[in-house]
Amino acid sequence: MCRVVGRLVDLTYAVSAALEPGKWRPLPPRAGSVFAEPVFVREAEALRAFDAELPAILAAQRTALELRE
């Protein structure tokens, strides 16, 4: 689960960096992340990647909430 969540965090960071380049973020990309360097050339490409992973992101959030309770 940690590996999946880590990859989703990396992806959302990369999408955010593509949509808002230069914006301050509280943490740098994780070391060794495949998304540590800019990977999206266009905003549409970043949004497509995010849309494709959205079900997994939501499932991870639901699972984390259920495990917390």
Quick: pLDDT tens for 2-47. 777 788 888 888 888 888 888 888 877 778 877 766 778 788 888 8
- Measured in degrees and rounded to the nearest 5, phi and psi for residue 36 equal -65, -35
Q: What's the pLDDT score for residue 69?
A: 61
Maximum alpha-carbon separation in the chain? 40
Q: 9-19 burial, b for 16+ CB within 10 Å, e for fewer?
A: bbbbbbbebbe
Record the tokens describing residue 69, joined without a space: 């309770």
pTM of the model: 0.65
Q: Residue 60 — very low, low, confident or very high, per pLDDT cuts 50/70/90?
A: confident
Those residues whose C-beta lies under 8 Å from the C-beta of residue 5, and which sit 6 or more positions away, are: 60, 64
**What's the confidence (pLDDT) of residue 1?**
66
